[in-house]
Amino acid sequence: MKPIDLRSDTVTKPTPAMRRAMAEAEVGDDIYGEDPTARRLEELVAERLGLEAALFVPSGTQANQIAMGLHCRLGDEVLADAGSHIFHYESGALSGLWGVQPAPLAGERGVFSPEQVKAAVRTDFIGPRSRLVSLENTHNRGGGKVWPLERFREVVEASRAAGLAVHLDGARLFNAAVATGTPAAAWSSLTDSTAVCFSKGLGAPAGSAILGSRELIAEARRLRKRLGGAMRQVGILAAGALYALEHHVERLAEDHEHARRLAAGLAELPGVTVDPGQVETNMVVAEFPGPQADTVAKLAAQGVLAGATGSSPRAVRLVTHLDISAGDIDEVLARIRRGLAG
């Protein structure tokens, strides 16, 4: 039985066309700024996201952490939703690299309000200095929740009024854009910095970008070097990201449709609790009988690979992606049905 991997959209394999683009990529020494494929990628993603400049980096975590280093200083504080990626999935880099502490906000599936920002900003000299607000779109632990654009704009305005810089962790920003029909730049152009990932829904094997003003990205290049993220003939990787940006954005709609189909099927199974109305992009969070670790093991025994999520002790996350077809969704539902019956 062939496993069907729904743990994350990071598990995709490069398509044959993407592999060809990578094999044929024109390259140069990127530390000298001489890799033409990396330059094309950076120019294209900056144009698409409405910011002046971009820098190709190895991972989404590094993109976010470069942003933390750009905006914050020792002892500063970052405001973000309590479930944010920068707090939970970046190995403590916020404090370990920059000496910055988190200020968690209790958002609803990752979305918080301008009033929460205003209330959380430090104004006394005793506490840490509030320096940055970080917004995650779509929100991972929020089950792929899209930030409503008007709410996003209001939070940005409140942050600016409080003297805070604004960073967007847009690892899955293109999912948000495709799901809503709103250009990705509508969110990113409002920020001081934005990070986007090419190795999630877009299906490239590696790579992210951090974007901002030309001055900011010049400093980002220095921090990338400090963090060990500067590479030489990086055009081989950049070519995969460039192909993904040019060919795999609109097809994200298929992933969203597959996720809705999966949620609707799960909702019909006894003992499974899921709200199909909350499936906005490519993530389905469902509650199964018993602890999530047991459920993940039972699903794996049926050839369905899923992941635990922090939303509740019984919640399991299933993520659709480039390598999952409509037929795979039907097979997943059949396997889960058999597993629950057994």
pLDDT digits (tens, 9 = 90+) for 171-208: 999 999 999 999 999 999 999 999 999 999 999 999 99
Computed over every residue of the chain, the mean pLDDT equals 96
What pLDDT score does 339 carry?
83
- Reported as a pLDDT band with limits 50, 70 and 90, residue 123 is confident
Q: Which amino acid is at 305?
A: L
Q: Rounded CA gap, 220 and 222, in Å? A: 5
What pLDDT score does 125 carry?
83
Average pLDDT over residues 290-315: 92
Residues 6+ apart with CB under 8 A from 166: 132, 133, 134, 135, 156, 159, 160, 190, 191, 192, 193
pLDDT at 168 over 90: yes
| Structure-model confidence comparison of residues 338 and 23, the more confident one | 23
- Which of 113-117, 264-268, 310-314 shows the lowest mean pLDDT across its residues? 310-314
Average pLDDT over residues 261-286: 97
Domains and their CATH numbers in the chain: 16-248 (3.40.640.10), 250-341 (3.90.1150.10)
In this structure, the number of other CB atoms found within 10 A of the CB of residue 1 comes to: 9
Q: Rounded CA gap, 84 and 107, in Å? A: 10
Which CA distances in Å does 335 have to 2, 241, 299, 339? 12, 34, 8, 6
Q: Rounded CA gap, 166 and 11, in Å? A: 30
In this structure, the number of other CB atoms found within 10 A of the CB of residue 73 comes to: 11
Structure-token pair, residue 272: 């499974």
Q: Which amino acid is at 319?
A: V
pLDDT at 310 over 80: no
Helices assigned H by DSSP within 234-302: 235-247, 252-267, 292-301
- The Cβ-side half-sphere exposure at 158, using a 13 Å CA radius, reads 20
Q: Which helix (H) or strand (E) holds 64?
A: helix 60-71
pLDDT digits (tens, 9 = 90+) for 234-259: 999 999 999 999 999 999 999 999 99
Average pLDDT over residues 266-292: 95
- Strand ordering across the sheet containing 193-197: 53-57, 208-212, 193-197, 165-170, 129-136, 76-81, 101-105
Backbone angles phi, psi at 303, to 5 degrees: 80, 20
What is the share, in percent, of the chain residues with pLDDT greater than 70?
Answer: 100
pLDDT at 342 over 70: no
pLDDT digits (tens, 9 = 90+) for 317-326: 999 999 999 9
Q: Rounded CA gap, 11 and 162, in Å? A: 40
Residues 6+ apart with CB under 8 A from 244: 18, 198, 202, 203, 204
pLDDT digits (tens, 9 = 90+) for 25-84: 999 999 999 999 999 999 999 999 999 999 999 999 999 999 999 999 999 999 999 999
Is residue 15 reached through a cis peptide bond, with omega within 30 degrees of 0 on the bond before it? Answer: no
Structure-token pair, residue 190: 């409002």
- The Cβ-side half-sphere exposure at 44, using a 13 Å CA radius, reads 17
What pLDDT score does 60 carry?
98
Kindly state the greatest CA–CA separation across the chain. 62
